[in-house]
Every structure is written in C-alpha cells, then in structure tokens.
Structure 1
Amino acid sequence: MREFVPAMLGYTVLILASTMWLKTLEGTLPRAVVTLLPVVPVGFLIRAMVRVIRDQDEFERRVDLVSIAIGGSVGTFGFFTYGMLLSAGVLPSPAAETVAIWVLPTLLFCFGVAKCAVLRHYRDQ
C-alpha cells in the first residue's frame, strides 16, 4: 500500500492535469510528453504489484495467479466479443483511443472481482 497509494494518487492527479493541459498545447512533441505523464505512475503501480506478488507466500501467490488468469480471460473475452460486434456493425464504432484506454482499467477491475470470488471460494472450502 505504501507504493500503491502514491502511484494511484499520482496517476489521478496527472491524468486530470494532463487532460486539462492538453487543451492549451500545440505541437506533437509537447502533446506527446504531456499525454504520457500519467504513464509514469502506472509504471510504479505495476512495479508495486510485482513486488507484492513476489513477496507473497505460496497460497497468496496462487490466489493472485488464478485471479489474474480469470480476470485476464474475462477481460480479453469481453474485448474480443466487443470487437466482433463492432466489426459486424452491430454496435456503433467509438474512437480507437476510447477503446484502447479502457484495456488496463478493465483488466484490473476483472482481476479485483476475480480475486474476491477466488478468496470466497477458498474461504468456503
């Protein structure tokens, strides 16, 4: 939590600041730099997650492995299904960046839900 909370706080501040700052910028390089600012705390978030998993005992690591497998599968299945519906013209096509920006939050959300379910499964056994 000592690494996770500051990374998420940094991400939140930078995503809001960069979104507002982009409205005033012109030129490719300045816009690229400002757009990528929130990526830095996401890197620290990933580092914190890896360190937590590395330092876990076998049971906790198993729970996280099963949870990431389920969460990743559900998230990618959802995106695949969504893509198929888009390619068939069944759903209106959003901008590509709108879809791409939701991949990581979707994966993390699915992981969180799966982890709750996996922990409940082991608790009920």
Structure 2
Amino acid sequence: MRAVHKRYLREFIPAMLAYVVLVVLSGFLLPKTASLPWRVVLAVLPLLPIVLAIRAMVRVLRDQDELERRIDLESFAIAAMATGFGFFSFGLLLLADLGWQVRGGAVAIWVMPCLFATFGLAKLLVVRRYRHHE
C-alpha cells in the first residue's frame, strides 16, 4: 500500500469512528435535552468528523497518481448519480402518497452514508473494469 493510501486510512478511519460515536451520542442525548441551543449543538456535532473525512478524501484524491485519480473521480460520478437517482426516486414515491410515513430528517440523514457506500461499490466496479482492459 502506498504512503498516500496509508495516510488516507489513518485520517479516514478515526473520522468515521468518531462520526459513529457522535451520531449515537447525539441520538441518545437529543431527546433528553430541552435547551434549543444545546439541541442544535448536539444535532450538528456529527458533522465535525464528516468534515475531517471529506478532507481526507480530498487529500488522497489530490495526491494520487493520474490513473488512481481517474478511477476515483469516475467512481464518485457514478456514486453521485446513483445516490441522487435513488433519493429522487424515493422522493417521487413519497409524493405518490403510498401510505409511507417518513420524516424528512430520517431521509436526509442517509444521503451521505449512501453516497459513501455507493462510492465504495462503484470503485470496485470501476477498478475491475480497468483491470480487464490491461
């Protein structure tokens, strides 16, 4: 594994672990907190490690070689379109009033994790395609 990818893992994994801890903590404390300013702080607290994860992603993208950068950018484009299409489709189905009761916040909170997951899947497919063309 190249140094750029080792650095990425050293930055990304702790950020994601902190995100999980803060999401759980926020979810546990929000219903028990009456003060509006504290509720706002608790609600946005998980954003801090996400900013660090995004920073790690941008740094690894910037420091990769041209082929790795091309693979990641293509993977990100596929992931962005697939995630956007999925959430747009879900929104259209919600507008059809199918009887589903879904709060907007419950949908919105899943956009970033879905984008990250579809990026991982897209990258597997893109890397596989590039290997078959060698």
Q: Per the shorter chain, which TM-score range?
A: over 0.9
Alpha-carbon distance in structure 1 between the residues aligned to 2:106 and 2:26: 16
**Equivalent of 2:86, from 78, 86, 94?**
78
Q: Which runs of 5+ in 2 are unaligned?
A: 1-8
Aligned amino acid, residue 79 of structure 1: F
Note if 1:62 corresponds to 2:70.
Answer: yes
In the alignment, what sits opposite 2:11? 3
Q: How many residues align?
A: 125
1:102 and 1:91, CA in 2 relative to 1: closer, same or farther beyond 3 A?
farther
Alpha-carbon distance in structure 2 between the residues aligned to 1:99 and 1:10: 22
Amino-acid identity (%): 48
Alpha-carbon distance in structure 2 between the residues aligned to 1:75 and 1:25: 33
Contact 1:85–1:91 (CA under 8 A) maintained in structure 2? no
In the alignment, what sits opposite 1:47? 55
TM-score for the superposition, normalised by structure 1: 0.95
Alpha-carbon distance in structure 2 between the residues aligned to 1:120 and 1:109: 17
TM-score for the superposition, normalised by structure 2: 0.89
In the alignment, what sits opposite 2:25? 17
- Structure 1 residue 91: Cα displacement: 5.4
Which aligned segments of 4 or more residues in structure 1 are displaced greater than 3 angstroms? Answer: none
Aligned amino acid, residue 87 of structure 2: F
**Equivalent of 1:87, from 81, 90, 95?**
95
- 1:38-59 deviation digits (Å, cap 9, x = unpaired): 1100000000000000000000
Contact 1:3–1:48 (CA under 8 A) maintained in structure 2? yes
Alpha-carbon distance in structure 1 between the residues aligned to 2:27 and 2:98: 31
CA RMSD of aligned residues (A): 1.1
- Structure 1 residue 23: Cα displacement: 2.8
Aligned amino acid, residue 42 of structure 2: V
1:92 aligns to what SS in structure 2? coil
